[in-house]
Structure 1
Amino acid sequence: MALTTSDICKIIAAVILPPLGVFLERGCTCDLAINIALTCLGFIPGIGK
């Protein structure tokens, strides 16, 4: 399966800001809320070190 330009943009967005990648793929659903919560749980402890 070949990658399209939109797939490459989604991959880059997901690496830079994971909730943005989820939003582009799934839209504004509970998946986005879960991803934002998990991202915060990963980033906040990382900032404290």
Structure 2
Amino acid sequence: MNDRKITADGKEGPGDRSGEAYPCIPASPAKMEARHSPHTTRWPHN
């Protein structure tokens, strides 16, 4: 499930995601767009 996050840079682990919400996830532009647009919550970010 989190393969894209880990493959993104390799540092996207459970520890990094805890400290930083989304440091750099080019593989998940949807989540980036969701964080930028709170009113555009088309993707249920858990």
TM-score, L = length of structure 2 = 0.32
* Larger radius of gyration between Structure 1 and Structure 2: 1
TM-score, L = length of structure 1 = 0.31
| Structure having the larger proportion of residues in helix | 1
Higher relative contact order by CA 8 Å / sep ≥ 6: 1 or 2? 2
